[in-house]
Structure 1
Amino acid sequence: MIVCNASVTLFRSSTQRLFFFCRLSAELYYVRNGVLNDYALNFEVMVPAEIKELHFTWQSLAGRPLPYAISVQHSKPEAMHPAFLNISTSGTIPTSTQTFCVALPCSGDASAEVDTVISINVTLNRATNNVTRLNFKRRKICLLGHRHHFPQNDGSASPGGSSRQGMASPGRGEDESAAMYIAISSACALATLLAIALLACYLRSNKSGMHNSSLIRESRLGSSSSGGPFLAPVPVMSCGGSSSGSCASSRPRTAASSNFPATNPADLHHRIAQLTIQRCRVRLKSVVLEGTFGRVYRGSYTEEDGLEEEVLVKTVTDQASSIQVSLLLQEGMAMYGLSHKNILSILGVSIEDHTAPFLIYPHQGYTNLKRFLQKCKLTPEGVAHTLTTQEVVDMALQIISGMLYLHKKRLLHKDLAARNCVIDDKLRVQIADNALARDLFPADYHCLGDNENRPVKWLAIESLTQKQFTTASDVWSFGVLLWELTTLAQQPYVEIDPFEIPEYLRDGYRLAQPVNCPDELFGVMAYCWAMSPDDRPTFPQLQVCLQEFYTQLTRYV
């Protein structure tokens, strides 16, 4: 694929679907200011049965019209007639923004998925024969008895991409009024251009106020910080005891909501005081996870009325430094005061003199999601559970639900990954904080010479290079988490040195499509990894998209 050295912009208009089965209002750029979007070009996008036309908007920014040649090829002629174009098969790309239409007429004689390739050759320099070739892959769904009607080609198409009534490619069709089609095509083109103009004006008028908006439509909550997730870094704090050791009484373990995130040690101390419980009410049973400086225990907590409940306990070993203790408390308190079915919120904290602090979480049969996925692989001991695509999508939807709640609370996770989620035997997923994650999963974190251990292979490009975190960077991490779900927790970019990851991403490389991963699901992942944060989908859009895909999957069960 040759990168354009002249300025060309070509994108799919916002009137059509963006994510396969998803009805999203967005624009998919294939060429922007002369740079090809290889990922967009490589997608084989599904075109539902009810969609019979594709609209593309293009413009030459080189100061002159650029010659082009366009053709459409498709398989299974018994299911679809030859495609129609409302522009000529050769001409010049206009210097003003214009929209052209590609009609995909189903014959109605058979049900099939028709592979269609729209090819456009753009001549950048006739003297050197420099030609850029663009291939747009589509898979058109045609249904038996569902016939699309288009007028016969009259050969009157005009070059340059303007929407005219002439059809460039010959094809069969029913005898209908050409005037009716002219009116419909013109209205579609006008509506598309108007929508694009309104969207551009809206973005320009709101760009300056994006960072001050309360939730930015729950999709672009901005933050820039090099500190840990949720909470600003706090100085090393002492672990002075707040408990007398008596079990006569205990403070309530449920605190009311407070402002997020905490910005000073006093607020952190206040949160700990609100959740403090007596150590003697906690009983450790077995080690669930263990690292060099941290451990996660399965245990129990006894209420004042004698009722005992299963809990998970995070703590540090005797080798842990005061800095690691402070980091455990800081990151462990991230879920303070949150209540959502897909969020694992902390129940209590136990801090006593000369002992390691305990962070207590509800257990309810949960296990670490990454460890669960690894057990789903074929091993000598067998397979713990064979995940279906439907189950993977359902788990992803649960994670999206939790992330929507966090962002509504004006919180960023900054370390969304399978290792920081838990799952039970009914495949109910909860997002957890990342306390002890660096110690328990050291292979997932790397230091790039800046004395900061980060999840390099899960971070968005702007988080790596500029330490900028937004809801869009959480979306990037969600894409990697979705890749983990489909690969059963394989290590991302396993062959790439962590120091090379920023340059690797800058050059346009991304994770490959997993084996047996549907194109629809991989398409969602890849859009999460768009270079520009503004080009990534939002969590509300991802929820709509995956919910519709999940509905499609259930129809085959």
Structure 2
Amino acid sequence: MQTFLLTPVKTVTALFLLTIIHFCNGILNIYLNTQEVQKLLGLEAELFYVRQGIVNDYALNFVVPIPSKINSLHFTWESLASKPLPYIIQIDTNDDEALEEPKLNITSSGLIPTYTQVFSLSLQCTGIVSAEVDVTISINITVNPDVTALKLKRKKICTKIESAINSQAVDAVPIRTSSARIFYYAVVCAFVLATTSIMCVAGLYVRRNKQRRTIDETTANQSYSAFLPTAIRNPTTSSSYSSFRRMPSYSLIEDRPSPKGLQERIAELTIQRCRVCLRNVVLEGTFSRVYQGTYSSEGGTEEEVLVKTVTDHASQVQISLLLQEGMSMYALNHPNILSILGVSFEDNSAPFLLYPLHNYSNLKVFLQRCKICSEGVAHTLTTQEVVDMALQVIEAMHYIHKKHILHKDLAARNCVVDNKLKIKIADNALSRDLFPSDYHCLGDNENRPIKWLALESLINKTFSTRSEVWSFGVLLWELTTLAQQPYVEIDPFEMAAYLKDGYRLVQPINCPDELFAVMAYCWAMNPEDRPTFLQLQVCLKEFYMQLTRYV
């Protein structure tokens, strides 16, 4: 049964004029020097926010994570005009409990000198709670008669310190005891101290013997290491990128110990550039390219691979985003997940990210090509094929959530499909550049997939497994419409109000009522009213069985 559900649509004027780089009226430099970039991102480079009066919006859009062990930031600036430039600095945070009040070593208003000056910002955590604190550094620079406004964003990682809390608790409780009790306490403490010292000495003796045995065993086993099966790696290849450290863009649902750090991951996946051969370009953006190529292993076997990289004019920020987003799905092993296969570095050139390629193509591009055939008539996927592809996505999302990871950008553009309609979910590396019409900035210098986000993610930037269910509903709508643009008539700035008023995507042509009901169920206003991926799996499997009975 075919039905059409039409909802009232507001008439909105779409504004498509986006400026990537704009100019300051005055001549000015504001940047992070090499030492600061190395400390924060592990890269040997300078990061300019303003160079010779040109504002780098890409750098301003990048939210730099600050690890808990780093408590101060350093910025370098200078006025290149003939006189100092007036400035006003304001620091805003969203969590006073986790982070102490930030402190500058310069005044909040003054003059930018005509010589190079480094100023610092202190970010001290309280240690009371664990949190990720958003820090916004607003700098207004006056160049008569104009004012240039810059916003630098940081995310400070604060961890809870148990000893500090315990000491506060002890200080809050008054101690009342007699002199006799103090004497007995002293005797007991002396006895405990003596016993502990003896145990420590014995432990050190045992540990040294154990270490000596371990070293001997390691030396003996080194001769056999050549016969162990290895993944794609090349420990002899090195570059400045090997020290790269960055928090993943995929968010952890809850704190969990990571088996390997990012530096170890890159070291394990690093391969020689000479083993990678690029063939044809599959996708291309302003500063990014996706190639089809081959990788020749040390054993001589050749494997088809998909290679993601950036062009020569890409900035260091774009390179770091490519790495941190590409490494997010490291070591995930599932038939419906496209995990990274290797990373290739070479001096003075962009890194290569390698993925296995088995006749895969981008799902969004594949769906758009389905609209075109020799007769000029769109080839629509059958409902049974759509449901089967949706079930594969559910399997992958359920696996990711079991690993305590949120994708936060589930869409057709971040999936691949082969000629047998087998789906794999991929990371979102380069998606903002390859599919720029799918991302919008709402004046906060952050490109986001506005029309795929749940209402709470759009307004409060909060993500959960239920918000991913909302995005899955939009992905299901993409499958049934052959990758039409969702909410094409709605201005991105009006999306929040549009969703608050209860409006949703319309029912696609030839979409059964049962399938559209699943989509609408995913778009419930209250996150708790949305189904889980397990519930969606049961529902769609039952619908799939009903479809197969009539085939």
Q: TM-score, normalised by structure 2?
A: 0.54
Q: Pick from 297, 302, 307 the counterpart of residue 301 of structure 2.
A: 307
Task: State whether structure 2 residue 387 is matched by structure 1 residue 372.
Answer: no
Contact 2:232 2:297 in 1 (8 A): no
1:334, distance to aligned residue in structure 2 (A): 1.1
Q: Rate the CA distance shift 1:336–1:444 in 2: closer, same or farther, 3 A.
A: same
Paired residue for 1:252? 231
Q: How does 1:141-540 map to 2 (within 5 A)?
A: 252-253=231-232, 267-379=261-373, 382=376, 386-540=380-534
Instruction: Provide the rounded CA distance (Å) in 2 between the counterparts of 1:276 and 1:383.
Output: 46
Q: Rate the CA distance shift 1:384–1:515 in 2: closer, same or farther, 3 A.
A: closer
Contact 2:232 2:341 in 1 (8 A): yes
Instruction: Provide the rounded CA distance (Å) in 2 between the counterparts of 1:233 and 1:305.
Output: 44
Paired residue for 1:8? none
Instruction: Provide the rounded CA distance (Å) in 1 between the counterparts of 2:284 and 2:297.
Output: 27
Q: Rate the CA distance shift 1:453–1:252 in 2: closer, same or farther, 3 A.
A: same
Instruction: Provide the rounded CA distance (Å) in 2 between the counterparts of 1:428 and 1:484.
Output: 16
Contact 1:225 1:467 in 2 (8 A): no
What SS class does the counterpart of residue 469 from structure 1 fall into?
Answer: coil
Contact 2:132 2:156 in 1 (8 A): no
1:378, distance to aligned residue in structure 2 (A): 3.7
Instruction: Provide the rounded CA distance (Å) in 1 between the counterparts of 2:132 and 2:367.
Output: 32
Contact 2:441 2:447 in 1 (8 A): yes
Q: Rate the CA distance shift 1:260–1:510 in 2: closer, same or farther, 3 A.
A: closer
1:381, distance to aligned residue in structure 2 (A): 6.7
What SS class does the counterpart of residue 427 from structure 2 fall into?
Answer: coil
1:531, distance to aligned residue in structure 2 (A): 0.6
| C-alpha distance after superposition, 1:275-306 (max 9, x if no partner) | 11111100000000000010000000001111
Instruction: Provide the rounded CA distance (Å) in 2 between the counterparts of 1:443 and 1:411.
Output: 26
What SS class does the counterpart of residue 408 from structure 2 fall into?
Answer: coil
1:386, distance to aligned residue in structure 2 (A): 4.0
| C-alpha distance after superposition, 1:356-382 (max 9, x if no partner) | 000000000000000000111145675
Instruction: Provide the rounded CA distance (Å) in 2 between the counterparts of 1:470 and 1:384.
Output: 36
What SS class does the counterpart of residue 463 from structure 2 fall into?
Answer: strand
Letter in 2 for 1:305: G
1:251, distance to aligned residue in structure 2 (A): 7.0
Q: Rate the CA distance shift 1:260–1:254 in 2: closer, same or farther, 3 A.
A: farther
| C-alpha distance after superposition, 1:496-546 (max 9, x if no partner) | 000000111111110000011000000000010001110000000000000
Letter in 2 for 1:530: A
Matched length: 317
Q: Rate the CA distance shift 1:251–1:502 in 2: closer, same or farther, 3 A.
A: same
Q: Rate the CA distance shift 1:250–1:269 in 2: closer, same or farther, 3 A.
A: farther
Contact 2:233 2:271 in 1 (8 A): no
Instruction: Provide the rounded CA distance (Å) in 2 between the counterparts of 1:300 and 1:466.
Output: 43
Q: Rate the CA distance shift 1:387–1:314 in 2: closer, same or farther, 3 A.
A: same
Paired residue for 2:20? none
Instruction: Provide the rounded CA distance (Å) in 2 between the counterparts of 1:554 and 1:482.
Output: 19
| C-alpha distance after superposition, 1:337-365 (max 9, x if no partner) | 01000000000001222110000000000
Q: Rate the CA distance shift 1:407–1:384 in 2: closer, same or farther, 3 A.
A: same
What SS class does the counterpart of residue 406 from structure 2 fall into?
Answer: coil
Letter in 2 for 1:457: K
Instruction: Provide the rounded CA distance (Å) in 1 between the counterparts of 2:475 and 2:425.
Output: 12
Q: Rate the CA distance shift 1:225–1:288 in 2: closer, same or farther, 3 A.
A: farther
Letter in 2 for 1:344: L
Instruction: Provide the rounded CA distance (Å) in 2 between the counterparts of 1:470 and 1:537.
Output: 13
Contact 1:234 1:330 in 2 (8 A): no
| C-alpha distance after superposition, 1:232-263 (max 9, x if no partner) | 9799xxxxxxxxxxxxx9973389xx998599
Instruction: Provide the rounded CA distance (Å) in 1 between the counterparts of 2:487 and 2:431.
Output: 19
Instruction: Provide the rounded CA distance (Å) in 2 between the counterparts of 1:436 and 1:253.
Output: 23
Letter in 2 for 1:456: I
Contact 2:338 2:424 in 1 (8 A): yes
Contact 2:251 2:405 in 1 (8 A): yes
| C-alpha distance after superposition, 1:32-65 (max 9, x if no partner) | xxxxxx99xxxxxxxxxxxxxxxxxxxxxxxxxx
Contact 1:225 1:469 in 2 (8 A): no
Instruction: Provide the rounded CA distance (Å) in 2 between the counterparts of 1:303 and 1:379.
Output: 39
Q: Runs of 5+ in structure 2 lacking a partner?
A: 7-130, 136-153, 158-227, 235-247
What SS class does the counterpart of residue 478 from structure 2 fall into?
Answer: helix
Letter in 1 for 2:232: R
Paired residue for 2:115? none
Letter in 2 for 1:500: E
Contact 2:288 2:309 in 1 (8 A): yes
Instruction: Provide the rounded CA distance (Å) in 2 between the counterparts of 1:364 and 1:411.
Output: 26
1:319, distance to aligned residue in structure 2 (A): 1.5
Q: Give the structure with the larger helix fraction.
A: 2
Contact 1:375 1:383 in 2 (8 A): no
What SS class does the counterpart of residue 468 from structure 1 fall into?
Answer: coil
Q: Rate the CA distance shift 1:535–1:226 in 2: closer, same or farther, 3 A.
A: farther
Contact 1:224 1:467 in 2 (8 A): no
Paired residue for 1:58? none
Instruction: Provide the rounded CA distance (Å) in 2 between the counterparts of 1:493 and 1:436.
Output: 23
| C-alpha distance after superposition, 1:140-159 (max 9, x if no partner) | xxxxxxxxxxxxxxxxxxxx
Contact 1:224 1:468 in 2 (8 A): no
Paired residue for 1:157? none
Letter in 2 for 1:544: V
Contact 2:132 2:155 in 1 (8 A): no
Instruction: Provide the rounded CA distance (Å) in 2 between the counterparts of 1:224 and 1:551.
Output: 45
What SS class does the counterpart of residue 328 from structure 1 fall into?
Answer: helix
1:271, distance to aligned residue in structure 2 (A): 1.4
Contact 2:487 2:505 in 1 (8 A): yes
Instruction: Provide the rounded CA distance (Å) in 2 between the counterparts of 1:372 and 1:283.
Output: 25
Q: TM-score, normalised by structure 1?
A: 0.54
1:267, distance to aligned residue in structure 2 (A): 2.6
Instruction: Give % identity.
Output: 70
Paired residue for 1:57? none
Contact 2:133 2:155 in 1 (8 A): no
Letter in 2 for 1:396: A
Instruction: Provide the rounded CA distance (Å) in 1 between the counterparts of 2:442 and 2:287.
Output: 22
1:385, distance to aligned residue in structure 2 (A): 5.2
Contact 2:372 2:379 in 1 (8 A): no
